[in-house]
Structure 1
């Protein structure tokens, strides 16, 4: 039961119907939209919802669903029930195409999973599969129509033997007339009776020749017509009059034969009309379900957890019409979280005017009604929804001059109906409960009515400003207070529902914001009493505190999520470290194996040398033993060096992580403390420097702003001064003919740097100066570790970043060549740099 009669208009469902109609393909579906009604049958509602959910999947996942020909030919089929009536060509063509659509839809919905056994096969769309289960598709009827109509919907020449004969004779006669007319026309043109560019034309179904009025006597025949200007007359030559008459006769025979063919076909169809109409009811259902699915997709609707009991446990519920309206202006709806259970059945919402109370009430009414009409609803997927046998609403001004009803009288009339009809399976929606009359008696009557609602176990959402109703909710089981939140500092509604505490009307604050004189506000406060004002203030404080702790709780959840992300990131870094360790171990083993192979080669060469020298066997055995000892010593040495190198690498990685943590902690600790600024002498030309974290010492040749030109050995490079640190001049190496000695520590550092060096640099998204700085460091490191080729990823975009980078590369002495990457691997978005 739905009350009152204009229930749909009050909650906005009449607009939903119009939106659904706009998404239908034919009047078939539109009629179903008009017939759509509220249901309290759980199985029926669940079946309807499943059908829409499955069609949403079809819309989103399938591309070949047949939805091209939804023609409503039911009126034509009902007309030909009368003996002698027939379908015309267009009606027959629409019947053929729509029957084909029905056939294709049934085939689509009756398909089953191919990977399952025949006796276990299931449909991917079970609810729609059941809907299409016993629908007839009339393949023989389609074949019969195909024998009559061509692909353009016109009667075929061979639809009957007689029609074929008539059309052949018609074509032959027309050709004969055309040849005669052309002959007569050429003769008239040669005599100058007719202009050179004139051609035969058709008048009243007869082929004629256009002639100037002064020349009409020159051609024997019948004048059929003249032009609007009177400058042309249309003459049918006497030679073709008989042929034209024959054409008229043949055309009449053709029409009669076509009518006979269509009448015969209609007589064949007549006994099958009831079954065909049943198939069109199926097509109407599909059109209707499709419209609901499309609307559901548009409003981001879904089927919540639907239960056969009375419950409202919704999360992020949204009024679909309000959502669509605000979306046009780039705004979003504040979602609604609401819960009604057996223990807390009636929600009493209070709060300021224009705070969203009525929207909240309408949202509950509209979504529940949509759900029980078999439509998807806009709320979060973890929501739970139930079913109600009755929905009552009392909202808006129902004054009636005809019925002599005031606003309050209409409210009382609605209350009377609700009290008489409601029960534990009812949902009542009342706006401004008790309003419209003197507040004291109005509040008392409202409290008495609310008490009866509660005793009957009714579910409901009620909005009010009355304090006595708020106290009633606090003191009675089954009724719970709720508040629409309001920002007291910014004086604006937040449109958020909070269940558990009553809300303040913020009457004093709103009056003060509007600019009502302070003495008026003071008088009003004195009239109502300090106790009322204090209680209202306490309500505001409670709401404020609850919002504060709710914000705190959300922040804690956010921090917990950040901690979880941090832990996950550290675990990933540990995995990376372990993977790096395994890679280092693998590479070290490969190097050790290579060294052993070289040692084996050395041993074999030594033995071969001994044999070639024809040494004694004992001497050979001794040499072999010495070399075996050498091999074992190398293996032990390599293994120890390998383990030491791996341990050193892991320790360096751990130290790097610790340094990051310490650096971050120190930065946070020192952020608020004033730090002494050390007086550091800036780097000048002639100073010996090294890049921070490296050992190579170079001399500053020149300072250009924040850049320094530094000579490292025989290589000159540009380096940011902030990356340099002053150091002592390198000690002069003693002159010697021997190869320059490089310490093992330096070798290890260079090996580590080369091992960790990545040959790709990504500067996409950087500003120009940032990108140039990154490229400078990258090219310097590449030259230092001896890499021959590197790649710089800068993207295509407007090409500015690419141009800046290449201008810089052209000035670097260590760059031999640079070019675009191969188009297969990135093209102009990547620069490949070859180093000297």
Structure 2
């Protein structure tokens, strides 16, 4: 039940109907908009909402939906039910295009099912399930109509004969007229630029009135100025008469063809009309979907019980109006359930109370009419069996009703019919009469509503209704917020406390004299004024603490995000550490394998030279110790990288802690006491920063230094070394170092002389190229070469990718890039080594 009769006009739904009609493509959909009605059945409401939501997805995601031709030919089809009547050319053309649209829509909704077996639009697919399409009828129309909706010459043999004769006769007339016209022009009867024209369907020649007797024929017309007469020469009168006869025959033949076609359509009219009902429904659903997109509406969660749990609900008409001026609507959050069924809204005038009430009424009515509504996705909606509204001035001279009498009549009907599934909307409850009795009457009526377990939104200024809400279960106060400092409404609803009318503050802002305000305050009493002031303070404090709570939640969320980010960085660092260790072990293993090969070569050389067993044993011992030293060096390199990353992270954390400890408004000043730093000298005990192994600095060359770690000499950057007081690491090889050291030094020196900084791997397979590059890079690192070049060619780029992927895993590679375009470009990789 909806009460009163002008309910839609009061909440603005009549404007919604107008906007929906504007989105329709034809009168088919507009009729459905007129028939749109309120429903309290969950199945019907849910089906309508789902159909509209699916069409929203079609509009947003599909480009091939057929919506070109929505023509309403139902009146024409109903007319030709009478035997002998026929559809004209335009009606047949509209029938053909609309039937094609119906066929296209049904095929579209079933296409996904045929292709994949899925139902992307199940509600619409069900709607199109038993709709008849008429491809044979479309084919029959195509045989008699062309692409422009005109009867084809080939529609019948008789029509083809008639039109050919018309064409030949017209051509003969044109030739005769042109000959007569040329002769008249040469005689000077007619101007040189005159051409034959048409008057009353007959070809004529324009002639000056003074020359009309020079040409034998019939005068058919003259111009408005009287300066030209139109003569049909006697030579073409008979031919023009024949044209008229043929045109009559053509019309009769066209009518015969259309009558014959209409006779074939007549038995199909009931099925065609049912298909047009489907087309009307599609037009209607499409209009609802387009309106939903325009108002940012969604399909909310729907429960089969009275419920309003809305977040960021928006009045659609107000939204559209404000959008034109670049403004936004303040959204409404409201909740009505079994515990708080009736909301009493108070607050200042022009504070948004009525807009809030109308928003509830309009959105609930739209929902139960099957329209999507603009609110947040987390909102929950319910279904009411009846909606009652009492809003506005209802004075009636005809019925001799005052405003208050009209309100009482509405209250009478509402109390008579309301129940636990009713939604009651009352604006300015109890107004229109003497305040004291009006407030008492309103409180008594409100008690009846509450006893009936009805739901409602009621706006008022009466204090007794605010007290009633505080004292009775099921009724709750709400306030429209007001900014006391700027003296302006915030249009925000806050449930839980009553609102102040701010009568004194508004009067003072408008400019009412202060003595008038003082007199009014004295009349009403200090107790009322203080109570209103306390109410304002409560609302103000609640807003303050609500803002504080929101800020705290925001800070907590930021802190949680920061902690999660740091934990992710630590996890990433740990994974990076493990990856570095793994690669370091792989590189060390590779180096050990190479060392083993060198050991075997050394032993083979010794055996071939028939050396003594003692020397062989000594050489093998020295090489084993060499392997251990290589292991230490590789381990140091890996640990050094990890130490550097850990040191950076700890330094960053230390600086962050110092900033937190630093008091606000003060600037931390760090005093660094410089201490004298002695430059490194050859012979100093040194170690690589972050490492524990101690070696002896042998030589300094620019930014590079040569350091001996036991029997191993290596070249490192000078700035990576630091002086240490720890003793130089001894390896135990000093006793026999003369034999191995000398040979090793000579071998290294010889290899350094023969080493080339370029390698060519073009034409090799991938594994061959990687092996060659591996040995080449290892030799370069061992010999302290800073830059090498790998020539791999361009080709398909596979070899280049494999080599660069390998270079990324080598610890000693600092950087690599394409060679300059003048020297080979992408066909050569330049590698910088540490």
TM-score by length of 2: 0.78
Q: Deviations over 1:755-788 (max 9, x none)?
A: xxxxxxxxxxxxxxxxxxxxxxxxxxxxxx9999
Determine the structure 1 residue equivalent to 2:439.
443
Q: 1:48 to 1:358 in 2, by over 3 A?
A: same
Determine the structure 2 residue equivalent to 1:651.
646
Q: CA deviation at 1:394?
A: 0.7
Contact between 1:443 and 1:468, CA under 8 Å: does it hold in 2? yes
> Residue 513 of structure 2: which of 509, 517, 538 is its match?
517
> Residue 253 of structure 2: which of 250, 257, 278 is its match?
257
Segment drifting more, 77-86 vs 253-262: 77-86
Q: CA deviation at 1:17?
A: 0.9
Contact between 1:603 and 1:627, CA under 8 Å: does it hold in 2? no
Q: Deviations over 1:305-353 (max 9, x none)?
A: 1111111111111111111111222221111111111221111111111
Determine the structure 1 residue equivalent to 2:126.
130
Q: Deviations over 1:464-514 (max 9, x none)?
A: 111111111111111111111122222222211111121122222222333
Determine the structure 1 residue equivalent to 2:284.
288
- Helix, strand or coil at the partner of 1:486: strand
Contact between 1:607 and 1:623, CA under 8 Å: does it hold in 2? no
Contact between 2:29 and 2:281, CA under 8 Å: does it hold in 1? yes
Q: CA deviation at 1:298?
A: 1.1
- Helix, strand or coil at the partner of 1:349: strand
> Residue 383 of structure 1: which of 367, 379, 388 is its match?
379
Q: Equivalent residues in 2 for 1:663-678 (5 A)?
A: 663-666=658-661, 669-673=662-666
Determine the structure 2 residue equivalent to 1:703.
none
> Residue 468 of structure 2: which of 439, 460, 472 is its match?
472
- Helix, strand or coil at the partner of 1:171: helix
How many equivalent residue pairs?
708
Q: CA deviation at 1:588?
A: 4.2
Determine the structure 2 residue equivalent to 1:701.
none
Q: Deviations over 1:231-250 (max 9, x none)?
A: 44434333333222222111
- Helix, strand or coil at the partner of 1:461: strand
- Helix, strand or coil at the partner of 1:111: helix
Alignment RMSD: 3.6
Q: Deviations over 1:164-203 (max 9, x none)?
A: 1111222222223333333444444555554444433322
Confirm or deny that 1:535 pairs with 2:550. Answer: no
Q: CA deviation at 1:740?
A: 5.8
Which portions of structure 1, spanning 4 or more consecutive aligned residues, are displaced by more than 6 angstroms? Answer: 674-681, 733-739, 742-746, 748-751, 785-788
Once residues 699 and 623 of structure 2 are traced to their aligned partners in structure 1, the CA distance between those partners, rounded to angstroms, is 38
Q: Equivalent residues in 2 for 1:439-588 (5 A)?
A: 439-582=435-578, 584-585=580-581, 588=584
Q: 1:515 to 1:217 in 2, by over 3 A?
A: closer
Determine the structure 2 residue equivalent to 1:395.
391
Determine the structure 2 residue equivalent to 1:311.
307
Q: Deviations over 1:392-420 (max 9, x none)?
A: 11111111122222211111111111111
Segment drifting more, 740-749 vs 364-373: 740-749
Once residues 507 and 206 of structure 2 are traced to their aligned partners in structure 1, the CA distance between those partners, rounded to angstroms, is 88
Q: CA deviation at 1:679?
A: 13
Q: 1:84 to 1:630 in 2, by over 3 A?
A: same
Once residues 601 and 247 of structure 1 are traced to their aligned partners in structure 2, the CA distance between those partners, rounded to angstroms, is 112
Q: Equivalent residues in 2 for 1:198-277 (5 A)?
A: 198-213=194-209, 215-277=211-273
Contact between 1:149 and 1:155, CA under 8 Å: does it hold in 2? yes
Contact between 2:80 and 2:262, CA under 8 Å: does it hold in 1? yes
> Residue 741 of structure 1: which of 701, 705, 729 is its match?
705
Q: 1:243 to 1:427 in 2, by over 3 A?
A: same
Q: CA deviation at 1:618?
A: 4.7
Determine the structure 2 residue equivalent to 1:364.
360
Once residues 394 and 787 of structure 1 are traced to their aligned partners in structure 2, the CA distance between those partners, rounded to angstroms, is 90
Segment drifting more, 34-43 vs 94-103: 34-43
Contact between 1:111 and 1:123, CA under 8 Å: does it hold in 2? no
Segment drifting more, 216-225 vs 158-167: 216-225
Q: CA deviation at 1:364?
A: 0.6
- Helix, strand or coil at the partner of 2:717: helix
> Residue 328 of structure 2: which of 329, 332, 354 is its match?
332
Contact between 1:596 and 1:631, CA under 8 Å: does it hold in 2? no
Q: 1:2 to 1:637 in 2, by over 3 A?
A: same
Once residues 300 and 139 of structure 1 are traced to their aligned partners in structure 2, the CA distance between those partners, rounded to angstroms, is 39
Determine the structure 2 residue equivalent to 1:41.
41
Determine the structure 1 residue equivalent to 2:780.
none
Q: Equivalent residues in 2 for 1:583-594 (5 A)?
A: 584-585=580-581, 588=584, 592=588
- Helix, strand or coil at the partner of 1:508: helix
Contact between 1:607 and 1:620, CA under 8 Å: does it hold in 2? no
Q: CA deviation at 1:62?
A: 0.9
For the pair shown, the structure with the greater C-alpha radius of gyration is 2
Once residues 704 and 346 of structure 2 are traced to their aligned partners in structure 1, the CA distance between those partners, rounded to angstroms, is 89
Determine the structure 2 residue equivalent to 1:422.
418
Q: Deviations over 1:263-317 (max 9, x none)?
A: 1112222222222222111111111111111111111111211111111111111
- Helix, strand or coil at the partner of 1:446: helix
- Structure 2's unaligned 5+ residue stretches are 681-696, 708-713, 722-785, 790-819, 822-834
- Helix, strand or coil at the partner of 1:43: helix
Determine the structure 2 residue equivalent to 1:11.
11
